[in-house]
Structure 1
Amino acid sequence: MYSGPLRAVVTALLAVGVAAAATGCSSSDSSAAADGKLGVVAAFYPLQYVTQQVGGDHVSVTNLVEPGTEPHDVELSPKQVAQVTDADAVVYLREFQPAVDDAVDSGAKNKSLDVAGVAPLSDGYVPLEEGELHEDEKGKDPHVWLDPTRLAGIADAVAKKLGDLDPDHAAEYTANAKALNTKLGTLDAEYKSGLASCKQKTIVVSHNAFGYLAARYGLTQVPITGLTPEEEPSAARLAEVAKYAKENGVTVIFFETLVSPKIAQALASEVGAKAEVLDPIEGIAKESNDDYFSVMRTNLTTLRGALSCQ
């Protein structure tokens, strides 16, 4: 036990520490705001966008991933873990970001919405040739937002979650989700029409992110790497994809915005193709005025050119 002057010093330090901790919790961006808004944490950009559109003026949304940052393996700071714990609700996609899963399990499980439960996820990888899958190639594909009809289902689930927390504005959340889903329906129709008559139906992509988009619009996705974009492909996989691209007349190899394009560019050079951006919309670049819809429409224009669509 401490005594005399030493006890006084320790007591003072503990008091400061408790006050600081309390201040840190109360000032969290994701906790219920003084103006009565719901404080919601969204795990990454598409979920942030949907929650903001559905919540409108009654919700304050915090994104755990900084603009321009790849979200797959995000690490959370102590402040962000506190934001998850303090939030009125957390919208996330389980098994996409392990650190977020851990934070939810530690202090937010009963107030979380796992959008992976809204619609069943598909297997993440189909090999071009027979053989065992690498670890990076196993698992379920999380990129459901690239199918607008699946994102519409997520919007409805977010509206229900917010309405349960804030019954006074439940009708408004439902109406906002309906309005968003109308826009998503229009986008879906644009994709169906725009990709209906194309000379090429195969997209070779740097990262296995476009399976839902391909399935929805009758395309075949051939990824260079699996579900984790930073994973280096094996020499055998590169040779396999190069052979496939040459044999099937692929003229464009796609890379994405938040990961190095070097491998896709090298493969494009090898097979005599161009390298172009196809954005999986896992995040929005810093200082960008784009949003989900503008990037999806840019992707459609890119696909139509690459696939020689009528």
Structure 2
Amino acid sequence: MPLLKVFNVLSVLVVFGLAIQPVKATPPAVTAPPAVVAPPAVAVSIPPLHSLVAAVMEGIGKPALLSPGGTSPHRAMLRPSTARHLAEADLVFWVGPELENFLETPLKRLSEKSGAKIIALLHAPGIFRREARHLHRDTDSESHNPDANYQLDPHFWLDPENAIRIVAIVAEQLGEANPERTAIYRQNRDRTIARLRALDLEIRRKLAPLAGIPYLVFHDSYAYLEGRYDLGPSQAVAIDPERRAGPRRIVALRRKITENAFRCLFHEPQFTAPILARLREGSDISTAPLDPLGSGLTPSPDLYFQMMQTNATSLQNCLMPARDG
């Protein structure tokens, strides 16, 4: 066979062989893994509520604290750090205007400007609320203001049953804002509620012998605690910390103290009150701290538990009747 012919045949075979080679599948495009959704930026007004929110967010993020311990929310002002935390927040938990009226206008502006969700926990469904006791008392204050904001007692977190409801509300709100982590929020909720139920039982055992013992407090912030554990009755030096007690009330309280009408006089670290020294003068009434805000404690998921245990111990130590011999 001529050489040229052979070459042509081989060429045809090569081309034919190439033509019948299987077509390789196009490799799939490489796609980036789904982006991790950041948790919402959360701000909380006062340390006890911040502690409960931090417990639900544990392992995910840390909420910002707007009013640190040692600062009374009754007298707080909007500081630059507070304004910054608010501007960055997607979700804000606060008591409500009954306690933190300095936040009312900034929160309204935040909601209108950024669409952040604002939760006034005192008014949330399921929260047990008490009417402010000063509505039924002659306060003899130097300036009485029957403002509508004072119709409810705002110290609702001092009842651990309300703390349980707060945790459930927070977990629900966080799950709605961040559904990718709903399971974690729920696990943290369940663990925190179990701790709160154990705390409630521990405090009840500790305070049970103190039922009915009268005592004196600086301002009327303990009705929820007293109602939960059958304490008191207590009387307050100042029904509202923003109003000074009048002379008639001071005289009446001094008389009761000298008559041993109170087992103990409790003071709060948030308030400097020289009036307490005047009340004690000439008597041997015992004194002890009570702190509804956890002042001096480091903000953390444990602060609420530490605060309640410390208050229960202070009540026990000051009110427990002395044992004979």
- Please say if residues 39 and 178 of structure 2, whose CA atoms lie closer than 8 Å, have aligned partners that are also in contact: no
Summarize deviations over 1:201-246 as a string: whole Å, max 9, x none. 222100111110011111222111123x253211112223334445
Distance 1:43 1:135 in 2: 24
TM-score (structure 1 length as normaliser): 0.79
Q: 1:285 aligns with which of 271, 291, 296?
A: 296
Q: 1:184 aligns with which of 184, 187, 196?
A: 196
The answer to whether 1:117 aligns with 2:123 is yes
User: Cα 1:300–1:131, aligned 2, differ >3 Å: closer, same or farther?
Assistant: closer
TM-superposed deviation, 1:129: 6.2
Match of 1:38 in 2: 40
The answer to whether 1:212 aligns with 2:204 is no
- Please say if residues 155 and 181 of structure 1, whose CA atoms lie closer than 8 Å, have aligned partners that are also in contact: yes
User: Which stretch has the larger CA shift, 40-49 or 123-132?
Assistant: 123-132
Distance 1:270 1:200 in 2: 25
State the AA in 1 paired with 2:145. Answer: E
Match of 1:106 in 2: 109
- Please say if residues 199 and 308 of structure 1, whose CA atoms lie closer than 8 Å, have aligned partners that are also in contact: no
Distance 1:55 1:105 in 2: 25
User: Which stretch has the larger CA shift, 243-252 or 257-266?
Assistant: 243-252
Distance 1:265 1:183 in 2: 38
TM-superposed deviation, 1:147: 1.1
TM-superposed deviation, 1:161: 0.6
The answer to whether 1:135 aligns with 2:138 is no
Distance 1:132 1:174 in 2: 48
Aligned length: 275
User: Which stretch has the larger CA shift, 268-277 or 95-104?
Assistant: 268-277
- Please say if residues 210 and 320 of structure 2, whose CA atoms lie closer than 8 Å, have aligned partners that are also in contact: yes
- Please say if residues 256 and 279 of structure 1, whose CA atoms lie closer than 8 Å, have aligned partners that are also in contact: yes
The answer to whether 1:71 aligns with 2:82 is no
TM-superposed deviation, 1:198: 2.8
User: Cα 1:90–1:251, aligned 2, differ >3 Å: closer, same or farther?
Assistant: same
User: SS of 2:252's equivalent?
Assistant: helix
TM-superposed deviation, 1:71: 2.1
Summarize deviations over 1:114-143 as a string: whole Å, max 9, x none. 101231431222489668883389432111
State the AA in 2 paired with 1:97. Answer: E
The answer to whether 1:274 aligns with 2:273 is no
State the AA in 1 paired with 2:245. Answer: P
Unmatched runs of 5 consecutive residues or more in structure 1:
1-33
TM-score (structure 2 length as normaliser): 0.75
Question: Of the two structures, which has the highest relative contact order with CA contacts closer than 8 Å and spacing of 6 or more?
Answer: 2
- Please say if residues 200 and 307 of structure 1, whose CA atoms lie closer than 8 Å, have aligned partners that are also in contact: no
Q: Percent identity?
A: 24
User: Cα 1:184–1:123, aligned 2, differ >3 Å: closer, same or farther?
Assistant: same
Distance 1:258 1:124 in 2: 20
State the AA in 2 paired with 1:179. Answer: R
State the AA in 1 paired with 2:41. Answer: G
Summarize deviations over 1:64-102 as a string: whole Å, max 9, x none. 123432222321135533432431100011111112111
State the AA in 2 paired with 1:160. Answer: E
TM-superposed deviation, 1:200: 5.3
Distance 1:127 1:241 in 2: 19
Distance 1:69 1:90 in 2: 19
User: Cα 1:224–1:37, aligned 2, differ >3 Å: closer, same or farther?
Assistant: same
Q: 1:251 aligns with which of 242, 263, 275?
A: 263
Unmatched runs of 5 consecutive residues or more in structure 2:
1-35
TM-superposed deviation, 1:156: 0.7
Match of 1:7 in 2: none
User: Which stretch has the larger CA shift, 50-59 or 195-204?
Assistant: 195-204
User: SS of 1:195's equivalent?
Assistant: helix
Q: Which one has the largest radius of gyration?
A: 2
